[in-house]
Structure 1
Amino acid sequence: MPQLDDGSESVEMSVAMLRRMAEQGVGAVCATSHYYRQQNSIETFCARRADALDRLLVNLPEGLPRILPAAEVAFFSGISEKPDLGRLCIQGTRTLMLEMPFSDWTDLQVEEVSALVLDRGFSVVLVHPERFCSSKGNRQKLRQLEELPVSLQVNAGTLLHWMDRRVGLNLLREAPIPLLGSDCHNLTTRPPNLKEGRKIVIQKLGSAFLDKMDENAADLTRQTANATT
């Protein structure tokens, strides 16, 4: 989404990013702008996101990937009881993209994620879990979360750097529901890179594994009834 967070700086940049994604064979894009509770209410965020999407769609040529409005939701205390949380899911789904804290996780935080899945019925996607694995405590708590039907979405960029690749591949192997994301923000430092990441997955984990990830992505973006409750 243009000018909504630390991602695209303009409508023109967003269109250029979508062109590059199309060249890589991408058919649909989840536009997961950052949501921080301390900065915006859900209502304000969704209004700003809708405005950004409108400005983009007016200037969007035919033949580019379909845009699914969503959010990358930064974990906050009480998230499992937050009304209207469904408005932050991938549009038309119960799929919640969740960014865990960069500090050491607590038992209460793990319990809240469990409640999101088991009590609220969200399909939780833990985004870029590789960023949190330097802490032994977080690795242990991630193992606890992996006992739930949660998705782990590793960034393609992680697989493109040999020093980080092993961690990323191991997370994909152990994930209950593995996913690969581009987490692209611009055209330079964090560009669309799914094509390159998918090549690594085929080389290291096999084409059947990649097919399964594609099936997972299709399931998590499929439209459902009562998605925003």
Structure 2
Amino acid sequence: MDTEKLADIHCHVLPGMDDGSPDTAVSLGMLRRQAEQGIGTVCCTSHYYASREKIDAFCRRREEALDSLRPVLTRDLPWLLPAAETAFFSGISECPDLDRLCIQGTRTLLLEMPFSIWNDFQVEEVAALVLDRGFRVVLAHPERFCGFKGNRERIRQLEQLPVALQVNAGALLSWRTRRLALELLREARFPLMASDCHNLTHRVPNLQEGRRTAAQKLGAGFLTRLDRNAETLLQPAVCAANP
């Protein structure tokens, strides 16, 4: 893997794992598009729901999905890092196996908060992940939660821990969500951008398009900040993968 290339830290590229890629052909198509955009590292963040599956079972399925891709991966495609998009669940801060859901080789956890009004207990659970457990928490697509009363302020609270905010590139490409997405990126202490790609039709790999919009609105230097933040979160995994 070329470590100077971009990283897409939120992707549903593994075949048959969730509502993302349904098969190997689509996965390869997604990876080719990402390679064309200069992406060298892809975090395979399939959805994990504690209410549906044990972590052991999820990790077995993830490894099987990776195994199905490995024979057809070529050197020109991005390096794949196993990970998860972990949906918040009660007791998450005390889960003993949570590190298995982190981006491989790191303590970086991509966390999807509830699609509802967040309460004090949920915020305290996230705080415990950071302060007591030492996880580096990345909040996935915070722009999707700001419509719920009080959540914007909760996000500001969580940022002080700190946690990172990962805005979806697609949010910058729609006039309905662009202003909010730019505000979140501009105000974030630790901003990130990812594609959250699922397929080749309506939720496609679009990180480069989002980056162009960010550069136009926030300045080209902002992209350097995004890249440094991603590197900070992934560097242990990159070193482990390429000794």
TM-score normalised by structure 1 residue count: 0.96
Aligned ranges 1:27-46 → 2 under 5 Å: 27-46=40-59
1:106-117 equivalences under 5 Å are: 106-117=119-130
Matched, 1:96 2:109: yes
Question: How do 1:155-166 residues align onto structure 2 when only pairs under 5 Å count?
Answer: 155-166=168-179
Matched, 1:67 2:80: yes
Separation in 1, partners of 2:15, 2:124: 35
How far has the Cα of 1:122 moved from its partner? 0.4
Aligned counterpart, 1:17: 30
Tell whether 2:229 aligns with 1:216: yes
Question: Within 2, Cα distance between the matches of 1:157 and 1:195?
Answer: 10
Of residues 167, 170, 174 in structure 2, which corresponds to 1:154?
167
In structure 1, runs of 5+ residues without a counterpart are: none
Out of 43, 46, 53, the position equivalent to 2:66 is 53
Deviations 1:137-164 (A, max 9, x none): 1112111111112100000000000121
Is residue 5 from structure 1 mapped to residue 18 from structure 2 by the alignment? yes
Taking only the aligned residue pairs, the percentage that are identical comes to 64
Runs (4 or more) in structure 1 with deviation over 3 Å come to: none
Give the structure 2 partner of residue 175 of structure 1.
188
State the SS of the aligned residue for 1:98. strand
Aligned-residue offset at 1:62: 2.4
Q: Do residues 195 (structure 1) and 189 (structure 2) align?
A: no
> Partners of 2:191 and 2:156 in 1: how far apart?
14
AA matched with 1:192: P
How many residue pairs match? The answer is 225
Secondary structure, counterpart of 1:73 in structure 2: strand
1:89, 1:128 → 2: CA distance? Answer: 17
Task: Give TM-score scaled by structure 2 length.
Answer: 0.91
Check if 1:120 corresponds to 2:120: no
Amino acid at match of 2:59: C
State how far apart, in whole Å, the 1-side matches of 2:99 and 2:187 are. 27
Q: Deviations over 1:40-77 (max 9, x none)?
A: 10111001000100111112122100001100000000
What's the offset of the Cα at 1:116? 0.3
Measure the CA separation in 1 of the matches of 2:154 and 2:215. Answer: 29
- Cα distance in 2, alignment partners of residues 44 and 216 from structure 1: 31
Partners of 2:197 and 2:159 in 1: CA distance: 25
Provide the alpha-carbon RMSD of the alignment.
1.1
